[in-house]
Amino acid sequence: MKLLFCPHCQDVLKLRFEQRTCECGKSWGRYEDEEHARIGGAAVPLGIGNRSLVDALESRPADGKGTTFLAFVIPLQSPSVTDEGHGATLKFRGSKTRTLEMMEALLGEGR
């Protein structure tokens, strides 16, 4: 399953055949067929391991820490994603956007 992540508003959207746009409007994308997606703007493509998600759903615990599943950032060069935007050029290290700095702060609080 492919999703897009917007580094500006932090929306995560499941891609569909009709184009979807994040809350701030800076990232968008859609499936072109069952395997291939086209994204644009600042969108960064994410993947979820389908089998891994199903297994985690089926073994959802009553309490505790929950069940992990496989999620990953799709590589810059991927045969299944066409990137018409500038998400691939965003720097997540070194020179960061204010939003990315805020995200790191938020993620740090949870650790």
**Which positions touch Zn ion (CB under 5 A)?**
6, 8-9, 22, 24, 26-27
Give me the least distance between CB of 40 and Zn ion, in Å please.
12
- DSSP, collapsed to helix, strand or coil, labels residue 61 as coil
Give me the least distance between CB of 51 and Zn ion, in Å please.
29
Distance CA 21, CA 14 (A): 10
Are residues 2 and 95 in contact, defined by beta-carbon separation less than 8 angstroms?
no
Closer to Zn ion by CB, 9 or 100: give it: 9
Closer to Zn ion by CB, 6 or 74: give it: 6
Closer to Zn ion by CB, 16 or 68: give it: 16
Q: Which residues pair with 27 in a beta bridge?
A: 41
Q: Could you identify the residue written with the tokens 């615990």?
A: 61
